[in-house]
Structure formats: C-alpha cells, structure tokens
Amino acid sequence: MENPNVLKEWFHHVDSNNAGSINASQLKNALAVGNLNFPLTVVQQMIRMYDFDKNGTMDFEEFVALNKFLLKVQNAFSQLDRGNGFLTPEDVHQSFDQNKMGMVRLDAFISLCIFVQSARNLFNSFDATKQGRVTLDFNQFVYCTANCRI
C-alpha cells in the first residue's frame, strides 16, 4: 500500500477507538487481514522499531514509516521466492523456518528482517565510535538479549 489516502483510510479503520494511534493488538489484527500472521511479540517489535516518540503506540507518521519498511521487505521477498510464495532453506537460514516445513513464508521473512534491523539498531546504540565493535558488560548483555528477541 503506497497511496497516502488509502493508508490514512486504513489507519483510521484500524484505530477503532479514534485515539490517533494504534497499539500492537490492533496492528496484529490488521496485518492478519492481509495474511500476515505475526506473533504479538513481533508486532510489538515492529512498533518499537518505528515508535519515534517512544509512547508504545504507533501514530500515522510512524505507521507510514513501518509501511515503507514492510514494502521493501515484501519486494525483497518477491525477488527471492521465485513466484512460489515461500523461500526454501537455501534462500534463508533454517532457524526462521518455524514450522520446519523446509520453506519460509512472507511473515517469517519479515520477522527475520525485523530481527536483523532491531539487532543492528541495538548494536549501533552501543557503537558510539562507529568502528563496528562494542564491548558490553554483563548488564548491557542482558539488556541486549531482552531487547532483540522475536
């Protein structure tokens, strides 16, 4: 969905309580309508990635940013899936083949991309000198493992 008017209409439909923002449950249900079935933890991670004001919800501007990310990931998936609607283990590491069926669907691929983006954002927050190296104490390590899960 790239049309801003369609996005705005969709967002207002999902924002059922007219709060001007949506929570993870609302976003999860809306994505499921498009056959993107994510665990709530993945949807929460999506919101954390684009929650620019850090209020725990997603306003329209943040949703537009998430939508751009999802479109890029969907395009990357489409280039890799050879028209099958899934990726084989040769295409993506088996750890994201959650059902162990030898293929990865679009929602699992998006989960992988979210994990990688979140891990990169977290790493960059500790890489103050931008040298590609970080040293973590135990507390920082625990923080990282708690904030980069899917």
Distance CA 27, CA 6 (A): 16
Side-chain-side CA neighbours of 104 within 13 Å: the count stands at 24
Q: Find the mean pLDDT for residues 76-94.
A: 72
Q: Is the pTM of this model over 0.75?
A: no
The predicted structure's pLDDT at residue 62: 93
- If DSSP codes are grouped into helix, strand and coil, which group holds residue 87? strand
Higher pLDDT: 59 or 135? It is 59
**Host domain of residue 52:** 4-147
The alpha-carbon radius of gyration of the chain (Å, integer) is 17
CATH code for the domain of 62: 1.10.238.10
Assess contact for 93 and 87: CB atoms under 8 A: no
Q: What is the pLDDT of residue 91?
A: 66
Q: Which residues lie closer than 8 Å to 100 by C-beta, 6 or more apart?
A: none
Place of tokens 């329209």: 60
pLDDT category at 96 given cuts 50, 70, 90 is low
Quote the percentage of the chain above a pLDDT of 90. 20
Count of domains for the chain:
1
Band of pLDDT at residue 150, cut at 50, 70 and 90: very low
Give yes or no for a contact between 38 and 28, defined as CB atoms under 8 angstroms apart.
Answer: yes
Task: Output the CA torsion sign for 120, 40, 150, 13.
Answer: negative
Q: What pLDDT score does 98 carry? A: 62
pLDDT of 42 over the 70 cut: yes
Q: What are phi and psi of 105, to 5 degrees?
A: -85, 170
* Band (92; pLDDT cuts 50, 70, 90): low
Dist CA 45 CA 78 (whole Å): 23
Higher-confidence position of 30 and 103: 30
| Token reading at 25 | 């449950």
Distance, CA of 31 to CA of 72 (rounded, Å): 16
